[in-house]
A = this chain, B = another copy of it.
Amino acid sequence: MLSNSEFRQQAHKAVDWIADYLDNIEKFPVKSQILPGSIKAQLPENAPDKGENMEIIFDDFASIIPPGITHWQHPGFMALFPSNHSYESVLAEMLVAGLGINAMVWETSPAATELEERMMEWIGNNFGIPAGWKGVIHDTASTSTLTAIISAREKYSQFKINQHGYNNFNALTLYCSAQTHYSIEKGAKAAGIGLDNVIKIATDENYAMQAAALEKQIQNDLAAGKQPFMVVAALGTTSSLAFDPLSAISAICKKYNLWLHIDAAYAGAAFVLEEYQHYLNGIIDADSYVFNAHKWLFTNFDCSLYFVKDAQLLINTFSSNPDYLKRTMDEVTNFKDWGLPLGRRFRALKLWFMLRSFGIDGIKLHLRKHIALAQHFLAKLLSGTNWELMAPFQMNVLCIRFHPAHIQDNDALNKINENIIQSINATGKFYLSGTRLNGNFVIRVVIGQTHVEKRHVEELVMLLHQVTA
């Protein structure tokens, strides 16, 4: 075991390693280029009996691990949704690691609970959350959404499913669009709703849910004896960042008394910008909302921000107080009762560091810069030939396709575009991923990594034009 002074020495070395790594990150291929099994092959089959020297362990880390890393903090990371950190949030994570606390209840570190309460107020004030809503930090949007599904289920059943199981509630139905994230289906399965009871509402030409189709489906289901209980609206779908019409959906949920959960996992960060807040019209009548600070808000994974209108209902859904956790002070917040896990990391510190060092103005500046870069990218790309935009351009997400006029066969087009992604990823300079829209394979480009600059997007355009020349 390391002594304190050995730790100090190694930790200084680690800081320099991290700073050097981030300073030189563009020298790495964004997407790891290794073959399956090649990392594992370098690791012995069993743990050592005798302790090893930390110098050797550190050297092994530095030689074995980086080639197997896909560098999410590389400015050329434009696949999936980028998961940004910032120097500020890395600093905070270091301190959190050193403190080594568990924020399960107030008493096990009041500062962690109270800072989390305050940070969720700061976020609420600035990112369009209605006054009076309360927030809690979960690990991922998958978990936040599962939490929402269970809460909605319990509100509908008046806590009878928690107590007795499903019994008379086997016809619960949940609505979302065909474009919403797979975590809604996954959550519905976990909660016992069943995949058959997740009803996918058709989307319009912009991949947004058709509110009229939603209402019609609810009416049909009610007439058929089903038990509609919940709608999940996406503000920014995963494939193309489509925005479901929240205002219309919200009115329908109010009319039929359904729980409305809003999944703004990626785009929620941009609701700090006045020009996008109109997408939130209708949230006042919703019940729960999630967006991830660990995506486009410069805060290390994991940091999923979950807000609810009725915190007491959340607590009633998830709380219980066994003898070994009995508290004397019931007036405090015990976040273990706001979700599934008992143990909780101290995640608020990284939000505090980031929000204060950036300032709200600094955050706006960075987001607007990314959005401007995405506009620039699109203009440059379309100045070449045979490129088309496959979904409305939203914020900083682009769904594009190379489509030479002489090729009409869809399979051939799909193959060409899959190959383009592979060619770009093989350069090591960018990491792109794809998706399917209406059966067409499209290339997704997300211009949102913390350190992305004009030179990066111009280089990507150049490469895209080159590989299709």
Q: Say yes or no: B182 contacts A322, CB within 8 Å.
A: yes
A284 CB–B CB distance under 8 Å: no
Bits for A178-209, please: 1 = Cβ < 8 Å to B, else 0.
00011101110111111111000000000000
A302 CB–B CB distance under 8 Å: yes
A320 CB–B CB distance under 8 Å: yes
Q: Say yes or no: A343 contacts B139, CB within 8 Å.
A: yes
The contact of A238 among B89, B187, B322, by CB within 8 Å, is: B322
A125 CB–B CB distance under 8 Å: yes
Name the B residues within 8 Å of A195 (CB-CB).
162-164
Chain A residue total in the interface (Cβ 8 A): 155
Q: Say yes or no: A140 contacts B343, CB within 8 Å.
A: yes
Q: Say yes or no: B139 contacts A139, CB within 8 Å.
A: yes
Per the bound structure, the CA–CA distance linking A156 and B455 in Å amounts to 56
Q: Say yes or no: B433 contacts A111, CB within 8 Å.
A: no
Bits for A1-30, please: 1 = Cβ < 8 Å to B, else 0.
111111110111011111101110000000
A88 CB–B CB distance under 8 Å: yes
Binds B, one of A43-51, A128-136, A403-411: A43-51
Name the B residues within 8 Å of A122 (CB-CB).
46-47
Q: Say yes or no: B107 contacts A70, CB within 8 Å.
A: yes
- Contacts A108-B72, A170-B167, A320-B185 hold; do A51 and B361 have CB atoms under 8 A apart? yes
A80 CB–B CB distance under 8 Å: yes
Name the B residues within 8 Å of A181 (CB-CB).
322
Binds B, one of A61-69, A213-221, A376-384: A61-69
Per the bound structure, the CA–CA distance linking A8 and B359 in Å amounts to 21
Name the B residues within 8 Å of A19 (CB-CB).
4-5, 7-8, 11
Q: Say yes or no: B23 contacts A15, CB within 8 Å.
A: no
CB under 8 Å from chain B, chain A span 365-390: 366
Q: Say yes or no: B165 contacts A192, CB within 8 Å.
A: yes
Minimum Cβ distance to chain B for residue A243 (Å): 17
Q: Say yes or no: B324 contacts A444, CB within 8 Å.
A: yes
Copies of this chain present: 2
The contact of A106 among B36, B84, B162, B353, by CB within 8 Å, is: B36
Minimum Cβ distance to chain B for residue A442 (Å): 10
Q: Say yes or no: A435 contacts B49, CB within 8 Å.
A: no
| Smallest Cβ-Cβ distance to A37: which chain B residue | B114
Minimum Cβ distance to chain B for residue A79 (Å): 8
Q: Say yes or no: A11 contacts B1, CB within 8 Å.
A: no
Minimum Cβ distance to chain B for residue A418 (Å): 9
A73 CB–B CB distance under 8 Å: yes
Q: Say yes or no: A32 contacts B110, CB within 8 Å.
A: yes
The contact of A49 among B153, B190, B298, B359, by CB within 8 Å, is: B359
Minimum Cβ distance to chain B for residue A157 (Å): 10
Q: Say yes or no: A47 contacts B11, CB within 8 Å.
A: no
- Contacts A331-B36, A342-B142 hold; do A100 and B88 have CB atoms under 8 A apart? no
Q: Say yes or no: B85 contacts A97, CB within 8 Å.
A: yes
A212 CB–B CB distance under 8 Å: no
Q: Say yes or no: B98 contacts A359, CB within 8 Å.
A: no
CB under 8 Å from chain B, chain A span 314-372: 318, 320, 322-326, 329, 331-332, 340-343, 345, 349, 352-353, 355-362, 366
The contact of A340 among B2, B51, B89, B186, by CB within 8 Å, is: B186
- Contacts A11-B94, A95-B61 hold; do A196 and B83 have CB atoms under 8 A apart? no
Minimum Cβ distance to chain B for residue A15 (Å): 4
A117 CB–B CB distance under 8 Å: yes
Most buried by B among A2, A73, A97, A323: A97
- Contacts A22-B4, A83-B100 hold; do A360 and B48 have CB atoms under 8 A apart? yes
Q: Say yes or no: A349 contacts B40, CB within 8 Å.
A: no
Per the bound structure, the CA–CA distance linking A135 and B238 in Å amounts to 29
Known: A2-B91, A72-B109. 9 other contacts (CB 8 A): A4-B87, A7-B22, A32-B107, A46-B126, A68-B111, A141-B342, A142-B340, A142-B343, A183-B342
